[in-house]
Amino acid sequence: MRVRTGLALGTVGALVATLAACSSDDGSKDAQDTGTRTITVAYQKTASFHQLDDLLQKVKPEFEKANPGVTVKLEPIEAEEDQYYTKLALMNGSKSTAPDVIYEDTFQVMSDAAAGYLLPIDDYVKKWSDWDQFQDAAKQAGLGVDGKTYGVSMGTDTRGIYFNKDIFTKAGLPTDWQPKTWDDILAAARTVKAKVPGVTPLNIYAGKAGGEQTTMQGFEMLDYGTGDGKGLHDGDKWLTGSQGFVDSLSFYKTVYSEKLGPSLDVALDASVGSKVATELFPKGKLAIGIDGSWQPGGWISGDNKWPGWEKAMGYAAMPTQTGQAPGTTSMSGGWLLSVGAHTKHPQTAFDFVSTALNKDNSLTYDTTNSQIAVRKDVAADPAYLSYNPSFKFFSGLVATTHFRPATPDYSQISSNIQVAVESVATGQASPEDAAKKYDEELEKIVGKDAVSAAG
């Protein structure tokens, strides 16, 4: 019996090994960019984010017509941000399912490049005449740790404060509001709470399920406005024991314990971003929201069109904690189109990227999705400048903006920030304890040598 069991186990082991060996045959190196071929494009689509889908639906027939033999298979992943990354990572996990063209967040690019999911496209961009049109910062955003280019920027963004002027008028607050400190924001929120019942005074993203929006539109908008604005990372070290980190969490504690924020069932839901954009703001249910510059895109056109947005919405820059220099802060990110490492048709995939992001298409995307243009020719185009009255304001925030730490560990660290924020917002941990736990997890992820105590 024992022998048989051993034998059986051995057989299974061998079987698994054989199958695994079969699968590791790497067919991807023999690139084939002529004849009949299909490229898969994986991207995100949600109730409030349809612009990319619109663009790609338009590019697909054009590209297929211009390149006989090519079929473009659009693979929209209908999920909010966090689940989008998971799904993408699951697809990238296997050569057979890895997409050829990937809609990739700039913060994921280093990590996914390191994982071997993305193809370096330096050779291809060199031959692309439009590449000169891209601003240096945008080229930078597509770099991996090895300094190679892994994606073409679709546009960038900034973050600031939106507020509803109608609610502000009812609350007796100025409609040209510009808070100077965090306390000014809280004070305005308290006023709204006292004077305009039935309205959520302030939204700052707090949920783990919200993913990167909680880190970037939420926590980092605070953290990078504390102290000297170093935020999470300085030089090549991650910061631990940062007072700014604790203070940022304390801001959350104030917002959620005083019930200035949305109720937790809304705040912690994965779809809170869509809800804010398509419901809370348009229906006048939210007074102040810290959010991204792209928001008006969904109000100008599409299923959730909101014609009154221009009149109702006011904008303000995010102040630093106590109003210390430079007075305001912002965060910038953006998305790329990348080519998957396992593509069998690298040239075709890249051609699709360059078509999707040529001048006309970039212009369409940057306007409809309220992106800050990164192509010089688009940025200077009158059609771009006149499209959306909020462009001017949000472009202005670039002066004091920050970028997220560019390291392959960032995405994992960001998840831990979300854990810290949610635990404070729900009252499960004090800001100090949550910050301490973050420090411990951080050290586990990057190692002792890569952290240093904040000054």
Q: N- to C-terminal Cα distance for the chain?
A: 66
91 vs 222, beta carbon nearer other proteins: 91
C-beta of 144 vs 296, nearer to other proteins: 144
Nearer to other proteins, 78 or 132 (CB): 78
Residue 103 or 128 having the CB closest to other proteins: 103
Which is closer to other proteins, CB of 271 or CB of 400? 271
Q: How far is the CB of 232 from other proteins (least distance, A)?
A: 17
Q: Which of 67, 73, 64 is nearest to 33 (CA)?
A: 67
Closest separation in Å from C-beta 424 to other proteins: 9
Q: Which DSSP category does 257 fall into?
A: H
The least CB distance from residue 16 to other proteins, in Å, is: 5
Which phi-psi region, left, alpha or beta, contains residue 453 (left: φ > 0; alpha: ψ -120 to 50)?
beta
> Of 385, 414, 403, 409, nearest to 138 (Cα)?
403
Query: Least distance to other proteins from the beta carbon of 275, Å?
Result: 6
Write down the least CB distance from residue 318 to other proteins, Å.
Answer: 26
CA proximity to 441, closest of 272, 429, 291: 429
Inter-axis angle of helices 410-425 and 431-446, to 10 degrees? 160
- At residue 337, what is the residue type? L
* CB closer to other proteins, 176 vs 449: 449
Q: How far is the CB of 379 from other proteins (least distance, A)?
A: 32
Cα angle vertex 325, ends 289, 223, to 5°?
45
Chain residues that interact with other proteins, rule: CB under 8 A = 1, 4, 8-9, 11-13, 15-16, 19-20, 22-23, 40, 45-47, 75-80, 82-83, 86-87, 89-97, 108, 111-112, 114-117, 207-209, 263-265, 268-271, 274-275, 278-279, 408-409, 411-412, 415-416, 419, 422-423, 426, 428-429, 444
Orientation angle between helical segments 51-66 and 359-368, nearest 10 degrees = 160
**Residue 34 or 428 with smaller CB distance to other proteins:** 428
Task: Supply the minimum distance, in Å, between the C-beta of residue 150 and other proteins.
Answer: 13
Which has the closest alpha carbon to 412: 107, 20, 6, 80?
107
Tell the smallest beta-carbon distance from residue 96 to other proteins (Å).
5
Q: Which is nearer to other proteins, 30 or 176 (CB)?
A: 30
Segments in 283-358 forming alpha helices (H): 295-300, 309-312, 346-356
**Beta-bridge partners for 24:** none
Measured from the CB atom, the residue of 207 and 431 that comes closer to other proteins is: 207
Token readout for 124 is 């291809």
Nearest-approach distance from CB 12 to other proteins, in angstroms: 4
List helix spans (H) across 263-344. 264-267, 272-275, 295-300, 309-312
Distances (CA, A) of 355 to 58, 164, 225, 285, 445: 11, 38, 39, 40, 39
